[in-house]
Amino acid sequence: MKSPTILLADNGSKRADSVINLRRLAKQLSNLSNRQVFPVSLQHADKIPTESLNGEPAEILQSFLHEKLSQGETAFILLPLFFGQSRALTSFVPQQLEKLRAEFGPFTLTLADELYPLPQGEPRVANILYQQLQTASLGKPAQMVILVDHGSPLPQVSEVRNRVCADLRQLLPPEVELQEAVMERRKGPDYDFNGELLSEQLAKIARCNPNISIDLALLFLSPGRHAGADGDIESICRQLSASHPGIKIRIAPLVGQHPGLADILLDRLDSALDNPV
């Protein structure tokens, strides 16, 4: 039986750094697994100029699968570069598969577990966050750590951050205060479960304690609009430092920049290979 075609898939970004990081992870996983792993984004990345991607255009799920199906491929494994089950996985991917099956007929796609599947969780995510904090702080913890993620209108996705935060709490010194924040949220009390915006939370902290030291732990996988160089998080921190010069803020590297992430992905791949659709 022919081996399935393996995709490492993120949601996609219009920033070249995001695709470059996805490609790096796919290559790392290919080396670990001795299998070819294709870096594919669900959407957006095809808007990036190819000259920003070393002359190689980004792959998008729909067109990638279309090409492979046209070549006679019928079995795929999709490894989600996602922490939780966002609508991209539960809605967008099934919609794309339905369109392709209408054109090509039956084929199989095994959707592997996400990085932090519920209810069992994945303690290695918090271990990576802790090590990235150590890198940012040079081993000297701040008075407060804020765990920041994108934010989601889905309770089950917000629960992933809550669970990761509880895991991280077990690793941090007891005197370090730990909070959570998001980069995006919908307005109104119905979405309070999602958390408070990072900009508003930092402003509130600064008013109460203008000389505090804060480390930001970033529950992000690749650079993009929010995280990474010149992203919204850096901009928010610069603005706060300008208005409150007594505050010290350090930003830890992303989860997706840690070599240990590939070990988690390898386990997800092995499980999917052992349990195909």
> Can you give the pLDDT at residue 38?
98
| Three-state secondary structure readout of 188-256 | CHHHHHHCCEHHHHHHHHHHHCCCCEEEEEECCCCCCCCCCCCCHHHHHHHHHHHHCCCCEEEECCCHH
Same domain, 184 and 220: yes
CATH number at residue 85: 3.40.50.1400
Same domain, 20 and 81: yes
Same domain, 101 and 146: no
Q: What mean pLDDT comes out for the span 55-84?
A: 97
Confidence of residue 140 (pLDDT cuts 50, 70, 90): confident
> Can you give the pLDDT at residue 125?
98
Same domain, 235 and 189: yes
Total of domains in the chain: 2
Give the up-direction half-sphere exposure of residue 222: CA atoms within 13 A in the CB hemisphere: 24
Same domain, 227 and 248: yes
For the segment 96-116, what is each residue's pLDDT rounded down to a tens digit?
A: 999 999 999 999 999 999 999
Alpha carbon distances (Å) from 183 to 46, 54, 201, 244, 268: 24, 30, 11, 21, 28
Residue type, 204: K
Q: What mean pLDDT comes out for the span 209-232?
A: 93
Same domain, 134 and 229: yes
Q: What mean pLDDT comes out for the span 253-266?
A: 97
Confidence of residue 141 (pLDDT cuts 50, 70, 90): confident
Question: Which H helix or E strand runs over 137?
Answer: helix 123-137
pTM for this structure? Answer: 0.95
Same domain, 223 and 262: no
Same domain, 112 and 132: no
Same domain, 179 and 268: no
DSSP state of 90: I
Q: What mean pLDDT comes out for the span 250-264?
A: 96
Domain containing residue 209: 123-257
> Residue 1 pLDDT > 70, yes or no?
no
Same domain, 46 and 130: no
Same domain, 171 and 227: yes
d(CA 23, CA 123): 25
> Can you give the pLDDT at residue 277?
72
Same domain, 136 and 230: yes
d(CA 211, CA 227): 24
Query: Average pLDDT, whole number, for the chain?
Result: 95
> Can you give the pLDDT at residue 77?
98
Q: What mean pLDDT comes out for the span 231-237?
A: 95
